[in-house]
Amino acid sequence: DSIKIKAIDEVKISRYIIKQTMEDWMNFVENDVVIVGAGPAGMSAAYYLAKHGLKTLVFERRLSFGGGIGGGAMLFHKLVIESPADEVLKEMNIRLEKVEDGVYIVDSAEFMAKLAASAIDAGAKIIHGVTVDDVIFRENPLRVAGVAVEWTATQMAGLHVDPVFISAKAVVDATGHDAEVVAVASRKIPELGIVIPGERSAYSEMAEKLTVEQTGVVAPGLYVAGMSVTEVRGLPRMGPIFGSMVLSGKKVAEDIIKDLRN
Ligand code: 48F
């Protein structure tokens, strides 16, 4: 018996793809939360926000998940996780190897794949190949109310194309070291009074603790999580230990859930 492959022509293939994509975009013009960046912090945040039932959209510039997870440390494909972040990873069925009390090693490929799968299964929407290059703001009360997005490919080509705007009750900068979203808000909405001191050199144990503690709101409607916290709050970097990234994502989700309830 030969395998019976369903016959479908190119016109139908195109129609289905275009229709379903546009339906998604129509739906995701308005959101509870927009997260910028699908690194460890952004995806952890997406997991907890979506699990709570909030409409959560993640924009990721690249065509992949994981941000800084993929390369491991200097391309060594293992990363360090410390307690209590191990509990979050266990919840996502990510395997950990214990090397001492409260210290675990995680495989980078498994970490990024399962983090993404967990966020998606919880109900978060992740759209690849889109760069956030600005925010929307409102006065009375002064707040960030969404983002401006452009195809990453359009930006790379240097084409002069206007963005589209996507609204959100909360925007999370989870863009990593450069804190791109907070940086643009600081520069283009001076009345928010955001001053960015910049990241400091490595001091891992201090950085892990402070990054989680100082995760949260930067201006009304604008939140920061992950490595962006070190840039925005002037904290040291920590290198290839990832507990704080996951816990920062979890904390920003908890803060937003609380704020949106009020
Ligand atoms: O850099 P990234 O992994 O940030 P993170 O979640 O985690 C940091 C660690 O990976 C590592 C570390 C931990 O000790 O030192 O650096 O804070 O992920 C950020 C993601 O955001 C995307 C970028 O491609 C990456 O996948 N991104 C950055 N800017 C934009 C963006 C933007 N303007 N629009 C869309 N995506």
Rg for the chain (alpha carbons), in Å? 19
Mean residue pLDDT across the chain: 98
- Give residue limits of the domains in the chain: 37-261
**CA of 179 relative to ligand 1 center, distance in Å:** 9
Q: How far is CA 247 from the centre of its chain?
A: 13
Q: How far is CA 87 from the centre of its chain?
A: 20
Q: What is the pLDDT of residue 8?
A: 97
Instruction: Assign 1 a pLDDT band (cuts: 50, 70, 90).
Output: confident
In a mutational test of the pocket of ligand 1, which residue from 149, 227, 228, 233 has the highest number of ligand atoms less than 8 Å from its CB? 227
Residue 197 reports pLDDT greater than 90: yes
Residue 89 reports pLDDT greater than 90: yes
Strand ranges (E), the chain: 30-36, 56-60, 78-82, 96-100, 103-107, 125-128, 130-138, 143-151, 164-173, 216-219, 222-224
Dist CA 217 CA 202 (whole Å): 24
Dist CA 117 CA 65 (whole Å): 10
pLDDT in tens, 33-81: 999 999 999 999 999 999 999 999 999 999 999 999 998 899 999 999 9
Q: Could you tell me the two tokens for 252?
A: 């920003």
Residues in a beta bridge with 149: 132, 164
Query: Up-side HSE of residue 168: CA atoms within 13 Å toward CB?
Result: 29
Amino acid at 116: A
**CA of 90 relative to ligand 1 center, distance in Å:** 22
**CA of 67 relative to ligand 1 center, distance in Å:** 5
Query: Up-side HSE of residue 32: CA atoms within 13 Å toward CB?
Result: 19
Q: Could you tell me the two tokens for 242?
A: 């990832």
| ipTM greater than cut 0.95 | yes
Pick the CATH number of 37-261 from 3.50.50.60, 3.40.50.880, 3.40.50.1370, 1.10.10.10: 3.50.50.60
- How do 103-107 and 96-100 pair as beta strands? antiparallel
In a mutational test of the pocket of ligand 1, which residue from 106, 154, 245 has the highest number of ligand atoms less than 8 Å from its CB? 245
Residue 260 reports pLDDT greater than 90: yes
Instruction: Assign 262 a pLDDT band (cuts: 50, 70, 90).
Output: confident
- 20, with CB counted inside 10 A (0-12, 13-18, 19+), is exposed
pLDDT in tens, 3-42: 999 999 999 999 999 999 999 999 999 999 999 999 999 9
Helix locations, 52-146, DSSP H? 85-91, 108-122
**CA of 42 relative to ligand 1 center, distance in Å:** 8
Residue 184 reports pLDDT greater than 90: yes
pLDDT in tens, 147-160: 999 999 999 999 99
In a mutational test of the pocket of ligand 1, which residue from 34, 61, 62, 208 has the highest number of ligand atoms less than 8 Å from its CB? 61
Q: Measuring CA to CA, which residue among 208, 211, 181, 209 is closest to residue 196?
A: 181
Residues with CB under 6 A from ligand 1: 36-42, 59-62, 67-69, 131-132, 174-176, 180, 226-228, 238-239, 242, 245
Q: Measuring CA to CA, which residue among 131, 172, 166 is closest to residue 147?
A: 166
Taking a C-beta distance cutoff of 8 angstroms, is the pair 240, 70 a contact?
A: no
What are the backbone angles phi and psi of residue 119, rounded to the nearest 5°? -65, -45
CA angle 74, 80, 81 (to 5 degrees): 145
Taking a C-beta distance cutoff of 8 angstroms, is the pair 102, 117 a contact?
A: no
Taking a C-beta distance cutoff of 8 angstroms, is the pair 214, 233 a contact?
A: yes
Dist CA 189 CA 140 (whole Å): 14
